[in-house]
Structures are given as structure tokens and as C-alpha cells.
Chains A and B, each alone.
Chain A
């Protein structure tokens, strides 16, 4: 069961953060990065990553372009935009708020 989406709505935040550190990743690399960095705890369901990426692209947070790899195959890689950087800040602070709020609840109850 741990293989299902355990990100609970934080997928956008993770994708933006990863792209802010390492621009020019394709979908598979983003997925791998989420898995590796979280020590295998967080996993995006592989297929549903793409609708999410496309949604963020439509929102103007990330930008996509096609590159041709050395084996002749094309792959679509993503970069953060200025709007995406701003969105990342907003999502990060929102996340901190949620964490500390949840924390408070856990401590007081």
C-alpha cells in the first residue's frame, strides 16, 4: 500500500522544489528524485505525475521543452519559471504553517 500516492497534496511543492535545485529534469527523473530524496518514503504514482506536471505547466509555474538525447530519442524536460519560484515560496510557507499547526494540535491535545 505504501506504493500508492502518499504525497497528500504536496506533490506540487516537491516538484517545484526539485526543479528549483536541479533545472531541466524530465518526468522520470523528477519521480526518481522524489523517491530518492525522501528515502523511499514519498512516492508519486508514476502515471499521475504527468497530469500534475501539465497542470503546473498550464498554470505557468514550469516551462517544458523537448530535447533530443544521444540515443536519438526525444524527451520533455521541465524548468521553473519566475511565477513558479514565487509559487514555490508560497507553497513552502503554507507547508510550514500546516506543519506547525498540526504540531501544535499534537502537542496540546
Chain B
């Protein structure tokens, strides 16, 4: 009995009715058996139908029963109009799927808390400042000694954790012949305790692994890596691996699901932070600092404490700077410390893609709204043709709520089917988008589980969508006036007003989508066509390591050997390739003057490097083989502009700290680390480094190889073989083409442009379909009027103008609103744009033209239909 039986009864309503009927029937039979007159007994009993309905309502959950019958009815309605339903479902599915997909990405990158204890009290320390262009920026890079001071300063109030930037490195398990790559991260040993983690195998690091530089050669595998590389081998603990010159012993395997704190990167091997070669350097910033606040501790006092400590550290360090002016030092120290919540981890991926993901979210939301407006229009037009049916229902006693339910259930069907299809779309598209943001050799690895968070989002979205497009038609259906509707004369203007409003909204959102897509497209275009100052085509970068330090002459021999390989045009050495992420900078003082606040960037290159890179020499000459570091230097044009103003730069002396340089040549500007930022002053210095009068041997360098073949990567294996042939203890750890590195710079822009273009197409298509539907409907509604006009001599052009003018006006109004919205919101996406101004006339004109063109195309069928109306036939049919 009770609620459960009522719910089950709702699904067996036919048998239930029969059962009740049988009982009522047996009552009358009993009466007759007792000798009563059948007619009298029936009369005394009252209406059996009425009693049955009363009993039914008691014995089953009436709401469920009506819902069930509405669901059946709604489904039949949808199936009756397969074409329009399919169009509605497809557009909605696309929009819902895109939204869910965007949510999955945003959730995975920005929202989902790390699987650790106290994620809600986790912060990342940053220093605020301004970049050379004067824009506000922040840095989360810290030096280990500074971290140690800060950790001591806030002891008892917060736990500080050092986490290096994840880096892909080489390691060997047995011999150097079997070098492999893995993602390393140096972390504080106590991180695992602070995060409340338990080992899957062996032990984790503890604070005892944080004590002495170089004294804790232990490695911890991540669960993911253990499962992938060692197939969950339980005997892995105790094995050793060699990284660089250090032999590390595996002490354990981390817990399942914990992949480090750098969202977007799955760490393979954790190493103690104190083992990092830079841990003893106070001028080497190589790690993030995370803070876990103790419960009940306010953030601000901790932040202030950390700020003071960090400033004191930097001030101490600044005393070592030679010849800096007071102002430069003040500028240098003026970087207030901030604590940013890091519940979802801290990573470059988050920093780089936060704005993009939000912009993508906005785009798909707009597309969803456009799709909703479309379906609302569709349902409204259908409601018009069903006005009589609704009126009939009202007049035989259906309640308004019941009518609303009827229409909303139908909407819910649409939304549900769309959500199911959309779910499939999201299942496919989220990983697809992630695969698009993979820089070469360093794939983004994100966990995109389809768990309750995604499911809850999808469910909520479906409900909202149902209300968005279902509510207006439902309200309209329920407010039907039976008397006028049955006469066939309900007010068509009110309905048209609603539909026109929806069209205007669509046009506005469509404009926004096109506008944003245009900006992203132009950004990608400008970015990928921006001059790099060198020729990246046909150039390979061979990052090479030797088994031990080798004299520069050995490296030169290797370069010479590679030069002789057929298909190789030229070979040069460099510290690292341009645009590969390597960076080395410092303050320079020119002619003994105090260093300015602007940093110069440095790169080791060999003679011939500028020729291999095809970098134009503006003045002076290339480096010579006998020149060493410090000493001769090439500088770029920006360096001259920044530091040498007006004079001839050749022969100018400048210094970085105690190292002195003389400019021997000036080369064209080329981006150094990133194409997103303005080109900094760059100094190219010789590879050969002299310390204390002796040439320093080198452990690793990058061979830059210009090949004759259009596809340089085809030569990769040949070059690998050649290197191994000359010196078996030299190993190429990474081969990338310079063109690939340049392309990787525009990965984000390409992705945004691609998504923008796709959604712009979808938005335009949806808006076009919407407009077409509305115009078609209004022509059908007005065919009598049009017929009469034609009968009394109106010309076809006149009729056509009548049909289009109104719609175009609505679209134009919507587009204008979209333009205003676009201008208002453009500032928020400024960080994603490059050399494009939202106020550019072309940026505004393109969406306008596109929308109006689409509107005209969409209006065409309705116009043709209108002018083809045969007055005689129309008037006769009425």
C-alpha cells in the first residue's frame, strides 16, 4: 500500500480500472441478488464512472498517472512531426553537448579539488608586479632558500610546500643505452603527510627527506606511472634509476589518483626538493610554493608575514647587486606577495587557459541560448496550430496547470533526448579539445571523469533548458481563451510579438558569437603571420646530452660530423632552441652606468647560428670561433633601442653582474621565449665559457640543423644514428623541428579560432533556421491578409517588402544590442587577443554583414511563398 503501491498502480492503470469496475459491478449484482430492482439499484449507486475515477485517484498517484499519460502523448506529438523534432533535438543536442563538454574542461582544469586533505585551505604564493609592457602580472617562481626562510617564518600557522615545475627529463634504469623520458617533480618531503596521503607501496617521502642538499637520493613513483611503466610490479621498491649524475633509489609508490599538484600534467616520478641542483642557489627560481593554512588561522597575517620575509630575503640578495640605483632596487623589491587559492592545483595550464576556457564557456552558453530560442519559437508556432486542441481541453475541464504540464512534458522530452545525444557529444568532444592543446612532446594529461559532478551539471542544464524554451509556450498554451480560440480567432499578433522578441535575442547572441569568433580568428591570423625574425622552416633542434662533461672542441667535432651528413645544409650549437621555454636573464649596465629596471635575456650560440637560423645581421658581424663567454656578444635591435639609444652600438661595452661584454654585431628582433609577449632585449653570447681562464666542458647542448628536405623530421633517425656512430656516449634526448616550436606558440589561438569558427557557424545556422521558421509562420498566418492585398492590386515587391522589412528590423535591432553587448564585454577577453582591437571597424562590420546576409537568405523562402499566394484560392478556402 501507501505511496509505493500508488506509484506502481500508476503504471498499471488499465488493469486497475478494470479491477475497480469489477468490484462496483459486483455490488449491483449483489443488490439484485438480494431482490432489489436492477434499475433502482443502479440509480441508488450513482454514476459508476464517477466512483471509478474517485477510487482511481485514491489508489494511484494521480500526478504520476497524468505525467505518464502526458509523456506518452508528448512523445506521440514529437514523433508525429519527425522533421521539426529532429531539427530541434539536433540543435539542442549540439548546444547541450558543447556546454557539458565545456563544463567538463572547466571543471577538470579550474574547479575540481585535488584529491588531498585540506584542499580548501591550499594556496599558492605569488609575487605581483608589472611586466615590461606595464601590464599587471604575477610570478609564482621561488628560490629554495627564500622558501626555507618563509617556511620557518610561518611555522605553526601554515605549512609551506615546495613543488618544482614539472619537467620532462631523461633517466635510465640499467644502462645508458636505454634512456627513457619521464615527468619529474621535486617536492618537499612533508607534502605527503600534509596532504594526508598513504602509499600504495613502500613508503612516501617525509620531512626527514627535506634535510640536507644532495643527501636524499630517493625517488617515489606515481601510481599512474607505476601502473604504466612497471605494470604494478610489487618488487619495484628498492630498484635504482640514474638521473643526470645521481643514482636514485625507489622507495615507494604514491596513492592511486594522486598525480601531483600541477593540473594538466601527470607526474611520473617525485624527487625530494632538496635534491634539486638549484636548491642551494638564492638566485635560481625553479619552484612554486604552496601553503596549507592551519585550521582557524586567518590568511592576511600569514600573508603579511610571508611578504616581509620574502622582501627581507630579496633585499639581502640585492645588496650583492653591483651598481644598481636606489630606484632600480626599490623597483626590484616592489613585488607584494599574494596568496591565491589553489584547491584545484596550480599549473601553467590553468594560467594559460583560464581566460580561454571561460571564453569558450561563454561561447557555448550563447549557442545554447540561441538553440533554446529556436526551439521556443518552434514550439510557439506549433502551439498556434494546437490552439484549438488546447481550447477544447480547457472547455471539457482540463485545468491550466494540467495544460502547462502537457506542454512542459513535451519540452522535457525534447530536452532529455537532446541531453542524451549531447552527453555522447560531450563524451567525445572534451578529450578532443584537450588533444588540441597538446604542445609537441609534452601532452596535456587531464582527468576527465564522467562522474556525479558532470552528471549533476547535465541534469541541471537539462532542467534549465526545458524551462527556458518550454515555459513561454506552456504559459501561452495555458492562458488560451477557449471561446475565441474555438472560433479560430485568437490573437496572432501576441504570438508574433513573442517570436519576434526571440528572434531579436537570437540575433543579439549570434552577433556576440560571431564577434568573438572574428576576434579570435583575427588574433590567430595575426599571430601566425607575425614575422619571427628567423626562418623556422627545415630547421631541426637536436637536444643532446653527453654521458659526462665534454670539452667544447668535442661538441664542435660533433657539429662538423653532422655537417657532413647528406641533406644537411648547416649546423650550429645553441644552449636551447628559441621558443622552447628555456630562459636566462639578468640586469645589464651599459658603459658602467647603473643597471636599469629592464632585464635582458641571454642565449649561448655558436658562430654560424645566426646563419643557420637565417637571422639577418643589421650591423657588425657574427661571433668568431675564438671568441668566448664572457666577452663578445650579439644583441638584437630591441637591446639597442633599450640600452644604447642613438649611438652606434658596435663596440659598446656592457656588463651583467661581474661579466663584461662587447657588442660585435646587431641582429634582427626575434621572439625569445614566447610570441605572446613583446620581444625583449636579447644578448647572444658564445657557447665556449671561460671560468678562471679555463674553457668549461659542457654536459649538454642543442644542435640546430638546417636540412635540405622540406620535411626535416624525416632526417631525425639518420641524425640520431650519426650522433651515436661518432660518439656512443652522446645521446639525442629530444628532436623537435623549429617550425613545430613556432606552431606550438599559437596552439591556444588556433584552438580558440577553431572553436570560435565552429560555434559561429552553428550560431548562424541556428539563427537562420529560427528566422526562417518565424517568417514562414507569419506568412501562413497572414495569407488571408496578403490574399486580399493582392486581390486589390498590391504588387509582388510590395508584398515582399512587407514580409521582410519587419523581420530585418527585428534582426537589426538584435544585432545592435549584440554590438553593444560585445563592446561592453570586449575588455574581458582582451588578454586573449593579439594585435586586434575590438573596436576595429572590420571586426564589427563582419558579423553585421554576415547576420544580415543570413537573414536575407532565411527570409527568401517565406517571401517566395508570400508572392506565390493565389488570392482567389486563399479567399475561397476561408
Contacts and interface: CB of A to CB of B under 8 A. Distances in A.
A76 B26 contact: yes
A54 B27 contact: no
Interface in B12-62: 20, 22-24, 26-27, 29-31, 34, 41, 44-48, 50-51, 54-55, 58-59
B51 A47 contact: yes
B23 A51 contact: no
B27 A58 contact: no
Contact of A47 (B5, B47, B59): B47
A74 B30 contact: no
Contact of B23 (A27, A48, A55, A58): A27
B6 interface: yes
B26 A26 contact: yes
Contacts of B55: 50-51, 54
A74 B30 CA distance: 11
B29 A54 contact: no
Contacts of A27: 23, 26-27
A47 B48 contact: yes
A48 B51 CA distance: 7
A26 B30 contact: yes
B83 interface: no
A41 B1 CA distance: 33
A60 B1 contact: yes
B63 to A, nearest CB: 15
Contacts of A74: 22, 26
A76 B24 CA distance: 10
Contacts of B1: 57-60
Contacts, number: 68
Contact of A58 (B2, B22, B51): B2
B23 to A, nearest CB: 5
A57 B60 CA distance: 12
Interface in A50-77: 50-51, 54-55, 57-60, 73-76
Nearest to B24: A50
A29 B31 CA distance: 10
Interface residues of B, number: 26
B107 to A, nearest CB: 45
A60 B5 CA distance: 11
B878 to A, nearest CB: 49
A55 B5 CA distance: 13
B59 A58 contact: yes
B50 A76 contact: no
A75 B46 contact: no
Contacts of A97: none
Nearest to B5: A58
Contacts of B45: 46-47
Nearest to A51: B54
Indicate the member of A27, A50, A59, A76 with the most B CB atoms within 10 Å.
A50
B59 A46 contact: no
Nearest to A71: B33
A50 B28 CA distance: 12
Contacts of A58: 1-2, 5-6, 58-59
Contact of A54 (B2, B34, B59): B59
A47 B50 contact: yes
A106 to B, nearest CB: 34
Contacts of B5: 58
B29 A46 contact: no
A29 B41 CA distance: 14
A48 B22 CA distance: 16
Nearest to B46: A47
A28 B55 CA distance: 16
Given A45-B46, A60-B1, A75 B58 contact: no
Nearest to B2: A60
Nearest to A55: B58
Nearest to B60: A58
Contact of B46 (A48, A60, A76): A48
Given A45-B46, A47-B48, A54-B20, 12 more contacts: A3-B44, A26-B26, A27-B23, A32-B34, A46-B44, A47-B24, A47-B45, A47-B50, A48-B46, A55-B58, A58-B5, A58-B58
Q: Which 7 A-B pairs have the closest CB atoms?
A: A47-B46, A28-B30, A51-B54, A47-B51, A54-B55, A76-B23, A46-B45
28 contacts: A26-B30, A27-B26, A28-B26, A46-B27, A46-B44, A47-B24, A47-B45, A47-B47, A47-B48, A47-B51, A48-B54, A50-B27, A50-B54, A50-B55, A51-B55, A51-B58, A54-B55, A57-B1, A58-B1, A58-B5, A58-B6, A58-B58, A58-B59, A60-B1, A60-B2, A74-B22, A75-B30, A76-B26
